[in-house]
């Protein structure tokens, strides 16, 4: 049998673009058909629009289509995890449905996979349709986490990538609750290759990520793959204690030699507020890590499935 390619497509309220996306993906499948068998697995992450209705129709019309409907919206990371759990391919691609990432690039990914690479990730050279602030903050985040994390996470790289069967099996062994998938992709290792491309604007609809969600996403990445904030708290705490000791010794020495005619209320308040602020800041950082330990300890399932429609052409159990 020819190798099997599975394409995972997480979808949340993507009714406006799904049909166009599937049309372009089907053309890619047709071009690859001499070398590979292909199938697509759509994961509906609790959409509120007609996404599931469209997926049901595609499942009936195209024998290469499978779909998973989650019981509610669990978030993109959980939806991708569900896709990887159910993907059967010798090679597995993850791609969004909004057409910012061109499905046609999958053919180049397959070519590199056939050369022996386990992970081929698409690295953006341009980001159309995004504000300068989002581009700047994203660039700063990737550069920051590359410096403080022991796992080297490629910069300017999203979720769009191809992974070999052994890379997917390794990824599926990582079951933590707080899933920063870009870090997990890098964590599994194996030979990897960047594929440069120009990222387009969304074909339709609006991005599901606002700045609050992006901020929380950045926190997930930092707390999942580095304890640098905790080390920083230790260093700043030590430095603050050291300077407080030096200043305290200076005050005592000055008082013993010259006395103190005027109470030092302003300087006392500044010192108290500064030290109190530093303490509260790092108590909050500790709280972020402790909260994640608490969530991991509950060991809840990452997602629940409402229904699963398997592709009619699926040849593997």
C-alpha 235/C-alpha 164 separation (Å) is: 42
The two structure tokens encoding residue 69: 């409907």
* DSSP E strand stretches across the chain: 4-11, 37-44, 65-70, 91-94, 119-127, 157-164, 192-199, 305-309
pLDDT in tens, 43-64: 998 888 888 888 988 888 888 8
pLDDT band at residue 41 using 50, 70 and 90 as cut-offs: very high
Rounded average pLDDT over 151-178: 83
Please answer whether residues 92 and 316 qualify as being in contact, where contact means their C-beta atoms are separated by less than 8 angstroms.
Answer: no
CA atoms of 309 and 79, how far apart (whole Å): 15
- Mean per-residue pLDDT for 11-36? 87
pLDDT at residue 259, as a whole number: 62
Q: Which CATH class is domain 4-225+300-309?
A: alpha beta
How high is the mean pLDDT of the chain?
Answer: 77
- Predicted model pTM: 0.68
pLDDT confidence bin for 306, thresholds 50/70/90: confident
Of residues 14 and 291, the one with the higher pLDDT is: 14
At 88, phi and psi to the nearest 5? Answer: -110, -5
- 32 band by pLDDT with thresholds 50, 70 and 90: confident
Classified as helix, coil or strand, 107 is helix
Let me know: does 131 contact 238? Beta carbons within 8 Å: no
Give the pLDDT band (50/70/90) at residue 194. Answer: confident
pLDDT digits (tens, 9 = 90+) for 227-238: 666 666 666 766
Contact 224, 183 (CB under 8 A): yes
> Between 112 and 311, whose confidence is greater?
112
Q: Work out the average pLDDT over 248-253.
A: 67
Of these ranges, 33-42, 137-146, 234-243, the one predicted with the greatest mean pLDDT is: 33-42
Instruction: Name which of 95, 108, 79, 89 is nearest 21 in CA terms.
Output: 95
| Interatomic CA distance for residues 214 and 208, integer angstroms | 10
Residue 265 pLDDT: 53
pLDDT at 43: 92
Is the predicted pLDDT of residue 267 greater than 80, yes or no? no
* Average pLDDT score over residue span 33-40: 86
Assess contact for 186 and 151: CB atoms under 8 A: yes
**pLDDT(112) > 60:** yes
Model confidence band, residue 222 (pLDDT cutoffs 50, 70, 90): low
Q: Quote the pLDDT of residue 286.
A: 75
Average pLDDT over residues 263-282: 67
What is the phi/psi pair of residue 16, to 5°?
Answer: -75, -20
Read off the pLDDT band of 127 (50, 70, 90). low
Of 198 and 241, the structure prediction assigns the larger pLDDT to 198
Phi, psi at residue 125, to the nearest 5°?
A: -100, -30
What is the spatial distance between Cα 55 and Cα 42, in angstroms, rounded to a whole number? 8
In this prediction, residue 137 carries a pLDDT of 66
Give the pLDDT confidence of 68-101 residue by residue, as tens digits. 999 888 888 888 889 999 988 899 999 988 888 8
Residues 6+ apart with CB under 8 A from 147: none
């Amino acid at each position: 049998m020819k190798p099997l390619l599975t394409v995972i497509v997480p979808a949340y309220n993507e009714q406006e673009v799904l049909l166009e996306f599937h049309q372009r993906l089907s053309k890619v499948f047709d071009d690859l058909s001499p070398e590979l068998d292909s199938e697509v697995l759509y994961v509906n992450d609790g959409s509120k629009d007609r996404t599931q209705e469209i997926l049901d129709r595609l499942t009936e019309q195209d024998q290469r289509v499978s779909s998973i409907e989650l019981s509610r919206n669990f978030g993109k990371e959980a939806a991708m995890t569900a896709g990887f759990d159910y993907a059967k391919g010798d090679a597995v691609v993850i791609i969004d449905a909004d057409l910012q990432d061109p499905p046609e690039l999958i053919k180049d990914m397959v070519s590199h996979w056939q050369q022996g690479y386990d992970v081929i990730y698409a690295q953006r050279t341009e980001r159309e349709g995004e504000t300068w602030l989002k581009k700047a903050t994203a660039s700063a985040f990737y550069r920051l986490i590359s410096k403080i994390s022991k796992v080297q996470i490629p910069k300017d790289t999203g979720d769009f990538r191809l992974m070999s069967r052994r890379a997917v099996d390794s990824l599926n062994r990582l079951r933590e609750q707080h899933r920063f998938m870009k870090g997990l992709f890098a964590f599994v290792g194996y030979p990897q290759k960047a594929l440069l491309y120009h990222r387009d604007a969304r074909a339709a609809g609006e991005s599901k990520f606002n700045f609050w969600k992006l901020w929380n996403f950045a926190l997930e990445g930092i707390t999942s793959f580095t304890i640098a904030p905790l080390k920083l708290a230790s260093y700043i705490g030590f430095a603050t204690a050291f300077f407080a000791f030096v200043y305290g010794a200076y005050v005592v020495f000055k008082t013993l030699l010259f006395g103190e005619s005027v109470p030092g209320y302003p300087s006392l308040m500044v010192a108290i507020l500064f030290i109190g602020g530093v303490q509260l800041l790092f108590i909050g950082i500790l709280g972020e890590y402790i909260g994640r330990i608490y969530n991991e300890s509950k060991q809840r399932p990452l997602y629940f499935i409402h229904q699963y429609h398997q592709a009619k052409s699926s040849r593997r159990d």
